[in-house]
Amino acid sequence: MPVRPTPQSGVMQIAPYVPGRSSAGGGSSGKIVKLSSNESPLGASPAAIAALEGLGNTLAAYPDGSSSDLRQAIAQTQGLEAERIVVGAGSDELLHLLAQTYLGEGDEAVISQFGFLVYPIVTKGAGAQPIFAWDKDYCVDVDAMLGAVSERTKLVFLANPNNPTGTYVSEAELMRLHAGLRPDILLVVDSAYAEYVTANDYAAGDRLVRDSDNVVMVRTFSKIGLAALRIGWMYGPAHIVDAVNRLRGPFNVNRAAQLAGEATVRDVEFVARLKAHNKKWRDWLTSELNRNRIRILPSQGNFVLALFEEDGGKAAKKANEALLEAGLIVREMGAYGLPDALRISIGEERAMRAVAKVLKGLNE
């Protein structure tokens, strides 16, 4: 082997993250509908679009390095303290920063069996080892999570609701998980889909953060209309915010993202419309498909996970091919260890009816 720069060992153990596909390939005809990335079916907030008018006049200047106006807007609308908020280039950046700040060689991070694929990536990237806790019927098992904790554990990732299953843990179970952790273990509550939750016993995590020294809540704008601009935010204790800000890039969030983010977070009517649309068609699609040899997991996100539990994954492959032929792109789940599942984002009415027609037609 030639002498050359060598990456850290953890980096070469990472399976690269593959996003949801954007094209249906050569077999489809007509309009392509992308239902693979959990994007907003109603587009962006009109207020966010308007906020970007005249942006060209400011392109030569650096953006606000601390995203202060956006942090203030988040704080005011969410009832939080602006000084305890960090804004990132998507929640992915914040997950990377937390891992780089609190994990190192020999450390471990506990992740649920079907947790977000970015968690093991950032863990290995920091030189640490991901430890997986098995779910119970596709739901995070708090006892299994606590049982996976060892003396090497420094961080626990919890997606709530979880992507890709759509399942969630109640506020009581979230509190029980935290109570079972040592005070030197950081609990990262990833509430990326909080805006879509309708369960009465759910908590996004902000109250737990306020009352604790070892919990952070991570959120995103990507699911509420601004996926293209990459904005995420974190709410945490002052000492964690201080540590993360020391590693965070000085101009990590661009001006367009800051402007659109501030407008979106203040446009509560738009977010409410998104939630109402999502609930209506999430419930409808679940009801339509659950009767046709397909199991739809109860979801609190803006997507559903469809399980085709026959033929060891062949039924899911056949269903995906039929959807692609109809110009409907959904997310295959083999990377998550779910070859018999497809994740379907909640889209416009026409798209939902088309998905139901295709999948129900396979069983006639």
pLDDT, residue 15, reads 72
pLDDT at 8: 77
Q: How far is CA 85 from the centre of its chain?
A: 18
CA distance 191 to 219: 5
Q: pLDDT: is 27 or 170 the higher one? A: 170
For residue 102, the model assigns a pLDDT of 98
Q: Give the integer Cα–Cα distance in Å for 163 and 296.
A: 14
- How does the average pLDDT of the chain come out, rounded? 94
Q: What is the distance in angstroms between the CA of the first residue and the CA of the last residue of the chain?
A: 58
Q: How far apart are CA 148 and CA 175, in angstroms?
A: 17
Confidence of residue 25 (pLDDT cuts 50, 70, 90): low
Asked if residue 293 has pLDDT above 90, the reply is no
The pLDDT value given to residue 12:
74
* Dist. CA 130–CA 108, nearest whole Å: 6
User: According to CATH, where is 3.90.1150.10 located in the chain?
Assistant: 15-44+269-361
pLDDT range class, residue 21, cuts 50, 70, 90:
low
Q: What is the pLDDT of residue 19?
A: 66
pLDDT of residue 20: 62
Q: Helix count (H) and strand count (E) of the chain?
A: 13, 13
128 CA to centre of own chain? 22
Pairing state between β 186-190 and 232-235: unpaired
**Strand duo 108-112 + 153-159: pairing:** parallel
Check whether domain 15-44+269-361 has CATH 3.20.20.70, yes or no: no
pLDDT at 70: 98
* pLDDT higher than threshold 60 for residue 29: no
Strands 186-190 and 215-220: parallel
What pLDDT sits at residue 156?
A: 98
Which of 6 and 54 is assigned the larger pLDDT? 54
Cβ-based neighbour number of residue 322 at 10 Å: 14
Segment (H or E) for 303? strand 303-307
Which whole number is the average pLDDT over 261-285?
98
> DSSP assignment, residue 194?
G
Structure confidence by residue, pLDDT tens digits, 151-209? 999 999 999 999 999 999 999 999 999 999 999 999 999 999 999 999 999 999 999 99
Alpha helices in 103-164 (DSSP H): 118-125, 142-147
Listed in order, the ranges of the chain carrying CATH 3.40.640.10 are 46-266
Tokens of 12: 């070469």
Comparing 4 with 6, the larger pLDDT belongs to: 4
Domain topology for 46-266 = Aspartate Aminotransferase; domain 2 (3.40.640)
pLDDT at position 30, please?
Answer: 62
pLDDT tens digits along 41-64: 999 999 999 999 989 889 999 999
Q: What are the start-end ranges of the H helices in the chain?
A: 9-12, 46-51, 68-78, 90-102, 118-125, 142-147, 171-179, 206-210, 238-247, 255-266, 268-289, 314-325, 349-361
pLDDT in tens, 142-162: 999 999 999 999 999 999 999
Torsion over CA: 268, 270, 276, 278 (sign): negative
Which stretch of 158-162, 291-295, 328-332 has the lowest confidence by average pLDDT?
291-295
Closest Cα to residue 80, out of 91, 71, 88? 71
Confidence of residue 23 (pLDDT cuts 50, 70, 90): low
Residue 130: per-residue pLDDT: 97
